[in-house]
């Protein structure tokens, strides 16, 4: 059996998604229509990068509400750094000691269940060993535990305002501000849930990142404030073991898959979390594994990352993204291509890694590193030994294999060539139990996606009414 999509692409260490139903505040009342499709001549999307944030997985640029620099067992997200391979210094920025982080709790100590729930490097065949053990998904819900500043509805741009991360163009809160400050949607757009009933919840991927998710609910108090602690008090349970896959372009009839779900080793204790059912390709970067993927797509992604950095500088920020690396570490991550930083800006480079050439944009210099993976990046693209293909299965999308067995043929990869990020035309629909003893009133529902490939947590929040 052959996967039918032709190739995959990943914006290096960028990945995005959002809840669709109930409609979150961050969707800004947008629906999936012609203006919201990727490539539209009249996009709703980002003013600095027109049309980039689009499609099912980023309605209203909802996928730009998240947090970076989050680690399992660490209460603070640093809101800086998207490195594929975090260093102890990255953990320090998040207020933790890398030597004292707890062991991952995913699977609750059962190795077989942990393997079932892992979404990345599940057989530990990477050249870097078990390099995802610090990532949020390895201890679902534990990143941000006990931190009143952890944002249950994400942060506009996912980072500090000084960082070179693109903010939304449709925002009604400042760059770097929490999503809890977004204006409520019109009351007629709220969902109504009945206590004791079973309801739908739906999410979509803009660019893949592995990991898993859960849903929680928080009742508004007198001042309408929303906190992570409030949501943690009422995690919602899945009503069925299945997730329904819906193709919004009607190219396929809806169908169900059995989704790996766990309630052991999670926080709050006993809360249910579900693995994202869409595997990426079987190497650390999740694309172009073994050098057989779409190198042009990789180059386009690298250029976009560089553009974001320059857009941040144009806005007046001086991001702290340039850190000089030694020759041995050149190319370990997509920002690690500079061996000597300049003085005019933190992203200015004066000496590039071997194999890279200096490029200019305005007053700033940066490094371009040729076509495809540079020699220093080969480890990121080295295919794992296990392909996780079914007997006879092949893939133009991921020629060397996938991170875990596919649930359906098109359900793999990071994006869709020809459509790019936002090219996934399907959503994931889960059925949730509304607690029977839930008092009537106004609530907020938070969808939380803990990633395994990178130290990131995505969130979307929706206003709903609960009736008796």
pLDDT tens across 70-124, in order? 999 998 899 987 778 888 888 998 999 989 999 999 999 999 999 999 999 999 9
Please tell me the distance from the alpha carbon of residue 146 to that of residue 150, in angstroms, as a whole number.
8
Q: Of 192, 194, 190, 191, whose CA–CA distance to 468 is shortest?
A: 194
Work out the pLDDT band at 314, boundaries 50, 70, 90.
very low
Work out the pLDDT band at 378, boundaries 50, 70, 90.
low
Q: What is the pLDDT of residues 201-210, one digit of tens each?
A: 999 998 888 9
Sign of the CA dihedral running 352, 353, 358, 363? negative
Measured from the Cβ of residue 405, the count of other Cβ atoms closer than 10 Å reads 13
Work out the pLDDT band at 42, boundaries 50, 70, 90.
low
Work out the pLDDT band at 320, boundaries 50, 70, 90.
very low
Work out the pLDDT band at 34, boundaries 50, 70, 90.
confident
Sign of the CA dihedral running 429, 431, 432, 436? positive
Residues 6+ apart with CB under 8 A from 187: none
Check whether 144 has a pLDDT greater than 70.
Answer: yes
Q: Share the mean pLDDT of the chain.
A: 82
More confident residue, 261 or 299: 261
Check whether 38 has a pLDDT greater than 90.
Answer: no
Q: In this structure, what token pair is assigned to residue 113?
A: 């269940």
Please work out, in degrees rounded to the nearest 5, the angle formed at the alpha carbon of residue 94 by the alpha carbons of 93 and 97: 85
Residues 6+ apart with CB under 8 A from 332: 84, 85, 325, 376, 377, 379, 380
Q: Which of 64-68, 219-223, 300-304 has the weakest average pLDDT? A: 300-304
User: What pLDDT, on the 0 to 100 scale, is given for residue 466?
Assistant: 97
Residues 6+ apart with CB under 8 A from 100: none
More confident residue, 55 or 459: 459
């Amino acid at each position: 059996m052959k996967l039918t999509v032709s190739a995959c692409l990943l914006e290096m260490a960028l990945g995005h998604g959002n809840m669709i139903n109930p409609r979150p505040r961050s969707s800004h009342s947008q629906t999936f229509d012609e203006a919201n499709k990727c490539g539209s001549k009249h996009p709703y999307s980002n003013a600095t990068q027109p049309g980039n944030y689009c499609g099912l997985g980023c309605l209203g640029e909802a996928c730009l509400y998240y947090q970076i620099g989050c680690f399992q067992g660490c209460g603070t997200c640093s809101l800086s750094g998207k490195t594929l391979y975090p260093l102890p210094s990255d953990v320090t920025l998040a207020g933790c000691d890398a030597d004292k982080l707890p062991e991952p709790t995913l699977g609750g100590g059962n190795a077989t269940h942990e393997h079932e729930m892992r979404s990345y490097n599940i057989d530990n065949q990477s050249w870097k060993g078990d390099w995802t053990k610090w990532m949020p998904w390895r201890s679902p819900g534990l990143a941000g535990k006990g931190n009143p500043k952890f944002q249950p509805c994400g942060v506009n741009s996912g980072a500090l305002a000084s960082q070179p991360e693109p903010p939304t163009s449709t925002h009604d809160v400042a760059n770097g501000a929490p999503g809890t400050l977004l204006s409520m949607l019109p009351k007629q757009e709220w969902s109504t849930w009945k206590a004791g009933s079973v309801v739908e919840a739906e999410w979509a991927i803009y660019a893949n990142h592995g990991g898993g998710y859960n849903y929680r609910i928080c009742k508004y108090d007198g001042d309408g404030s929303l906190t992570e602690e409030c949501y943690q008090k009422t995690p919602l349970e899945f009503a069925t073991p299945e997730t329904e896959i819906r193709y919004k372009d009607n190219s396929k009839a809806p169908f169900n898959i059995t989704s790996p779900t766990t309630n052991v080793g999670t926080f709050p204790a006993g809360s249910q979390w579900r693995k994202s059912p869409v595997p990426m390709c079987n190497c650390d970067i999740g694309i172009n594994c073994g050098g057989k993927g779409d190198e042009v797509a990789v180059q386009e992604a690298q250029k976009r990352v560089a553009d974001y950095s320059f857009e941040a500088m144009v806005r007046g920020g001086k991001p702290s993204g340039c850190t000089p690396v030694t020759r041995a570490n050149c190319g370990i991550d997509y920002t690690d291509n500079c061996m000597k930083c300049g003085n005019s800006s933190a992203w200015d480079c004066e000496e590039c890694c071997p194999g890279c050439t200096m490029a200019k944009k305005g007053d700033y210099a940066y490094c371009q590193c040729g076509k495809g993976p540079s020699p220093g990046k080969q480890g990121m693209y080295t295919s794992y030994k296990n392909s996780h293909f079914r007997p006879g299965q092949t893939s133009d999308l991921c020629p060397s294999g996938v991170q875990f067995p596919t649930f359906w043929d098109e359900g793999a990869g990071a994006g869709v060539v020809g459509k790019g990020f936002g090219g996934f035309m399907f959503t994931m629909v889960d059925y949730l139990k509304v607690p029977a003893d839930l008092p009537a009133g106004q609530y907020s529902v938070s969808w939380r996606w803990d990633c395994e490939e990178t130290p990131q947590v995505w969130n979307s929040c929706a206003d709903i009414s609960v009736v008796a």
